[in-house]
Amino acid sequence: MSNAYSFWDRFTATRISRRRALQMAAVGSATAGAIAVVGCGGGGGEKTPAPGGSPAATAGAEKPFLGGTLRAALNDPQSKFDAQKFPTFTVQSANSFSYSRLLRSNSGFDDPNTPDIDLPAAEWYRPVPDLAAKYENPDATTFIFTLQDGAKWHNVDPLNGRAVTPADVVNAWEYYKSARPDKGTNLASIDSVTAVGANQVQIKLKQAFGPFLVVLSSSSDLWIYPPELTSNPDKLNSTMVGTGPFVLRSYTQGVGAKWDKNPDWWEKDDQGNRVPYVDKLDFPVISDKNQEFSQFTAGKLETMTVPGDLIGNLKSQMPQAHVLQSIANLLNFMFFPPAAYEANEKPFNDDRVRHAVSLAIDRTALIGLASGDNGGKKHNLINSGFLWYLDPESSDMGDAAQYFKRDIQAAKQLLSAAGYDSLDVDFHYTNNAYVTAVPYYNPVAEAIPPMLREAGINAKIVTHDYQSEWINPSGGIFYGGLKSGIAFSLETPVNHPWIQLNFEFTPGNQRNHSHINDSQMIDLVKQLGAETDFDKGRQLAYQIQKANGDKMYYVPLVGPYGFTASQQYTRQWAAPTSYGIGSESTPRFQIDTTKQQL
C-alpha cells in the first residue's frame, strides 16, 4: 500500500510492556476529561488492516460479552454538534459516536487477563479504516479511497438510512473548507477531493505530505457530515445523523445523551460478531468529580478518568477495578513574548535567560504535585505521553539535557552572564479553563513562580480569563498576544508531531505562540512534514526537540501519570487515545451484563 505506512508495518511485530505502552499513549484522561469511555482498537499489520483485530485481544477475549449499557460521564457539548465550526474536544468526542471519518486512529486496549497491553507500540495512532474500507496511493500525491461496501447513513430523519455516496464525502470536504475556523490548516496539503465511480473518492495533494493519512485520521479534522445537515446549520448543531457506530437517541443539554448501537455499522470482529458489542450508551452530564467518583464506585458507571489524588481511594474501595496508568498526550510548557524574537526585546531575547528559566524549575517536584505523588516524566517539546518523545535528559539531547535538571546556581550564573542580577517579570496563566479537565494545571502554575524567584526571577502571577484573554484569536496570549513576561499553557494533543511543531515554528501560524522565525526550526519541520519513513521522521522529531532545548524557545515541563478506571466486569478497555473514542475504542468495549448493576 502506501509508502506513508511503511513505518507502521515495521513495528507491528514488536510488543511492548504495558507500562512502556502506556507511557507513550493516551490523550485522554486528564487531557479532555473526555467521556471516559474506553475499549479496544487493536489492529493488524496488513496493508489494509481490519480495525480492532489484534490477535491477542481476540484470544484473550474468547467469546465476547454482547449487549448491555455502557454508562460514563459526558462532557456536555452544549448543543453544538458541528465539530467543523466548533472544533473543541467535547464536540469532537460527541461526534465520534455518531459520525465517521475516512480513516480513524487505532486505539489501544488492555485485556486484564494478559500481563502486557495487547498493542504494539507503533500501532498507537496508526490510521485504520473507517468509512473508507481501503485505499491506494498510486503516487505520492494521489490517494484513492474505497468506501465501505453497503455503508448507510443512520436510519433516522432526514437521512432515513440512505446509502453513502462518494459525493457525500466531497460535500463534507467542501463543508470542512468553508466552515473550519482555522481554514483547515492541518489538511492544507489537499488540492482536490473528487468522486470516482460509484464508491471511490480521490484525494489529490498539492505536494507529498508524509503525515497525510495520520492527519486525515485525526478526530480534529475531516468528519463526514451528510449534505442534508450541512445545508441546514441549525439541524447540524441540534442533532447528529451519521454513519458512526452509534445512533443518537436523545440529547438534553445539561442532562445527558443516549445512543443505541448502529445495527448497520460495517465492522465485525474476527469471530464474525458485529460490533459495537454494547447495545446502548447512557452518558449523563456529571460536572462534579466527587459525584462521578461516587457513581463509579457504586457501580453506576462503567468507566471514569480518576484524578491522581483519588486513585488511592479507588484502589482501597475497589481493589478489583481495572486501573490503567498513563501519561496523557498533552504538553504543558512555558513560552516567551513574541517581541523577544521579533524586536529583540530584553530579557527573553537572550537564550541564557530562557535557559535560566528552565534551570529554575524543579520538575521532579512538579511531577509529584501534578500526579498526587504517583510519578510521571519530564516533558520534552514532544510530550512524554507521545511516541515521538525524546527523554530530555538522555544523551541524545547533548548539552541541552542539563537545562532540564534544576540547578539554581547555574541559573543565577546564566542570568548574571546575561547582565541581570535579578529580573522582575509577570507570570501569566489562565485560571478558569482547566479546573476539571486538567486539574493539575492551576496548582502547577501556582508552584512555578516561587521556583523562579529562588533563581532571582521575581515572577508575579497574573491570571487571565480563558475565552477573552487567553484564546481570543485577536490578541489572546495563546495566539501570540503575550506582551511581556512568561506564559504557562497547554498544547492541544495531536496524533502526529508535525501538527504541533508546524504550529509552533511556522511564521504566521496562529499557534506560533512566540512568533518564532528560526530557519533551522522551519527547515526541520518542513523535512518532518515531507518524511514518509518512520525512523527518519522520528530522528527529525528528536532533532527538533534537541534544537528547542538548545534555544529553549518553549520550556517543556512535566507529564504526570493519570488514571483511567473501568469496572471489573468489563473487558477490552483502554485509556482513550484521541477524541475519536466513540468509533475508536467504544465499539469493542464489553460488559458482562450478568454482573452489571442497572
Partner 1 sequence: MTTYILRRLLLMIPTLFFVTTLVFLIPRLLPGDVVETIIGQYTPLTAGDRAKIKHDLGLDRPWYQQYGDFVLGAVRGDLGNSLQYQHPVTKDLKQRIPVSAELGIMALVIGVVIAVPVGVLAAIRQDSIIDYVTRSSAIALIAIPSFWLGTMVVVYPNVWWQWALPTQYHSFFSDPRQNLYMMIFPAAILGIGLSGAIMRLTRAEMLEVLRQDYVRTAWSKGLRERTVVLRHALRNTLIPVTTLIALQIPVVVGGTVVLEGIFSIPGMGAYLVTAANAKDYPVIQAVTLLIALVVVFTNLAVDVAYAYLDPRIRYR
Number of residues lying near partner 1 (CB under 8 A): 44
Q: How far is the CB of 451 from partner 1 (least distance, A)?
A: 29
Identify whether the C-beta of residue 485 lies closer than 8 Å to the C-beta of residue 428.
Answer: yes
Any residues with CB less than 8 A from the CB of 108 and at least 6 apart, and which? 21, 25, 40, 41, 42, 117, 118, 119, 123, 124, 574, 575, 577
CB closer to partner 1, 289 vs 355: 289
Nearest to 490 by CA among 26, 10, 30, 13: 30
Shortest distance, position 88 Cβ to partner 1, whole Å = 7
Site string for partner 1, 504-523 (x = CB under 8 A): ------x-------------
Range 264-269, long-range pairs (CB < 8 A, 24+ positions): 264/150, 264/152, 264/154, 264/155, 264/161, 265/587, 266/133, 266/148, 266/149, 266/150, 266/151, 267/51, 267/52, 267/587, 269/52, 269/53, 269/58, 269/64, 269/588
Contact string 158-187 vs partner 1 (x = CB under 8 A): -----------------------xx-----
- Angle between helical axes of 519-530 and 497-505 (0-180°, round to 10): 150
Q: Are 32 and 579 in contact (CB under 8 A)?
A: yes
**Of residues 448 and 482, the one with the C-beta less far from partner 1:** 482
Based on the shown chain and the rule CB under 8 A, indicate whether residue 435 belongs to the binding site for partner 1. Answer: no
Q: Between 277 and 283, whose beta carbon lies closer to partner 1?
A: 283
For partner 1, the closer CB: 158 or 473: 473
List the one residue from 115, 254, 319, 508 that touches partner 1 (CB under 8 A): 254
Residue 472 found at the interface with partner 1 (CB under 8 A)? yes
Query: Does the footprint of partner 1 cover residue 86 (CB under 8 A)?
Result: yes
Count of CB atoms situated within 10 Å of the CB of 62: 9
Q: Which of 58, 92, 98, 297 binds partner 1 (CB under 8 A)?
A: 297
Contact flag: residue 312 with partner 1 (CB under 8 A): no
416 or 472, CB closer to partner 1?
472
Using the rule CB under 8 A, is 250 a contact of partner 1? no
Residues 341 and 480: their CA atoms lie apart, in Å, by 12
Binding-residue pattern over the window 50 to 79 for partner 1, x denoting contact by CB under 8 A: ----------------------------xx
In the complex, the smallest distance separating the C-beta of residue 415 from partner 1, rounded to whole angstroms, is: 33
Q: 15: burial class by Cβ within 10 Å (0-12, 13-18, 19+)?
A: middle
- Compute the least distance from the CB of residue 461 to partner 1, in Å: 17
Residue 267, exposed/middle/buried by CB under 10 A (0-12, 13-18, 19+)?
buried
Supply the minimum distance, in Å, between the C-beta of residue 467 and partner 1. 5
Nearest distance from C-beta of residue 234 to partner 1, angstroms? 8
* C-alpha to C-alpha distance for 201 and 244, rounded to whole angstroms: 19
Helix (H, G, I), strand (E, B) or coil at 440: coil
Contact between 315 and partner 1 (CB under 8 A)? Answer: no
What count of other Cβ atoms lies within 10 Å of the Cβ of residue 591? 23
* Nearer to partner 1 (CB atom), residue 80 or residue 453: 80
Q: CA–CA separation, 38 vs 95, rounded Å?
A: 16
The DSSP string of 344-373 is --TTTTSHHHHHHHHHH--HHHHHHHHHTS
| Residue 100 touches partner 1, criterion: CB under 8 A | no
The answer to the question of residue 294 lying near partner 1 (CB under 8 A) is yes
User: Among 138, 150, 473, 507, which residue sits at the site for partner 1 (rule: CB under 8 A)?
Assistant: 473
Q: Determine, following the binding rule CB under 8 A, whether residue 300 of this chain makes contact with partner 1.
A: yes
Query: Residue 91: which H helix or E strand, with range?
Result: helix 89-98
Closer by beta carbon to partner 1, 113 or else 313? 313
Per-residue contact string for residues 317-346; x = within reach of partner 1 by CB under 8 A: x-----------------------------
- At 74, list the grid cell: 459526558
Q: Burial level of 358, CB count in 10 A (0-12/13-18/19+)?
A: buried
Q: Is the CB of 17 or the CB of 287 nearer to partner 1? A: 287
Report if residue 288 touches partner 1, rule: CB under 8 A. yes
Q: Is 468 in the site for partner 1 (CB under 8 A)?
A: yes
Composition of the chain by helix, strand, coil, percent to 5: 35, 20, 45
Question: In this chain, which stretch among 86-94, 201-209, 416-424, 514-522 interacts with partner 1, using CB under 8 A?
Answer: 86-94
Q: How far is the CB of 498 from partner 1 (least distance, A)?
A: 19
Residues that bind partner 1 (CB under 8 A): 78-79, 85-88, 181-182, 234, 237, 252-256, 282, 284-288, 290-291, 293-295, 297-300, 313, 317, 432, 465, 467-469, 471-474, 476, 479, 510
